[in-house]
Structure 1
Amino acid sequence: MKFNSKYLPPFLSLSSAIALLSIAYFLEFFLNLIPCDLCLQQRGVHFLIILASIICIVSINFKKINTLLDFLIIILWFTSSVFAFYHFGIEKKFWSGFSSCTSKINFNENTLNNILSTDTLRCDNPQFEILNISLAGWNSLVSLILFTIYISLLYLFKKRKQ
């Protein structure tokens, strides 16, 4: 059985998103790194990439649908990169995040109750870094690389057909 090269971009996308989510869940459940709100939202983008990649693989012979899904996957990888970079910027104090994600506290009568009822961590305090880059920073870099690879593969395969 010969592997058709048009399957490569969505398979790469699918396997990469699964790998990124697997790492995130491993860190959460086995190393007890609790995700913040932005971390959880970034996972949602990766789940959408998985869904779009599976549909793209299944509908590989339907050119119009497949082209639309390729475009969607490209947008999702770019969104993942931008979103993770935004999170990285909050962690490095380049800019402030939304109010539920940063440590700026406005004390009022419900402040203590709100703090005690919150299960997630602040987004501006990374728990884990590799080479002084947080996991959000690495996610941004990897997502940007995958965005570039996906576009490059589609361009190469399209050029090869001509």
Structure 2
Amino acid sequence: MQISLTMRQAALAVALGAAATIGGALVFEHVLGYVPCKLCLIQRNPYYIAIPLGLVAALLPPRYARIGLWLLALVFIVSAGLGAYHSGVEWGFFAGPSDCGGGSGAGAGNVGDFLNQLQSTRVVSCTEAAWRFLGLSLAGWNVLISLALVGLAAMAAARKGFYLGR
């Protein structure tokens, strides 16, 4: 099966892939109760940049869409690097940030609320993977997803049209 994508379609596909990935991270956090650590939150930033960038690139004329796709590829190279670093911290290959702990996401209204929040808040270490699938943590999956999005964006930017499949 052969699928032909234009640069605009590829930019939209990258934006949708980024949105789906962030959506998955938010489900893990808000539905399944996994509290993200500092590095987890930092790894989301490239996705927050890529979603609007991909949507804008999809709407631009081909010349500018190509530039947008190269920028998307760069954003996801950075994202893959952040995920690889975090994976290395989880496996003990690198030292993580000294202040690496998760937040509760809600501000305290007064001192009493703050003290209650301190008692119920669990600090999340960047060195412990909260979840693994097929041996990879969420940071490891971020590396794979980011590299796939790099490939998609770069292949589309390098040619006027390209094919996926045979």
Q: Name the structure 2 match of 1:50.
A: 51
**In the alignment, residue 44 of structure 1 is paired with which amino acid?**
N
| 1:3-152 correspondence to structure 2 within 5 Å | 5-59=6-60, 61=61, 63=63, 65-101=64-100, 120-152=123-155
Per the normalisation by structure 2, the TM-score is 0.77
Aligned mates of 2:74, 2:147 — CA distance in 1: 11
> Structure 1: which 5+ runs fail to align?
103-115
Contact kept? 1:85, 1:140, Cα under 8 Å: yes
Bigger relative contact order (CA 8 A; separation at least 6)? 2
What is the percent sequence identity of the aligned residues? 26
RMSD (Å) for aligned C-alpha atoms? 2.5
Higher strand share: 2
Deviation at 1:75?
0.5
Deviation at 1:128, TM superposition (A): 0.4
1:15 deviation in Å? 0.7
Structure 2: give runs of 5+ residues left out of the alignment: 102-117
1:21, distance to aligned residue in structure 2 (A): 0.5
Contact 2:76 2:146 in 1 (8 A): yes
TM-score where L is the length of structure 1: 0.78
Say if 1:119 and 1:43 are closer, same or farther in 2 by CA, change over 3 A: farther
Distance 1:66 1:149, change over 3 A: closer
Structure 1: 4+ residue segments shifted above 2 A: 65-68, 116-120, 153-160
Give aligned pairs, total.
144
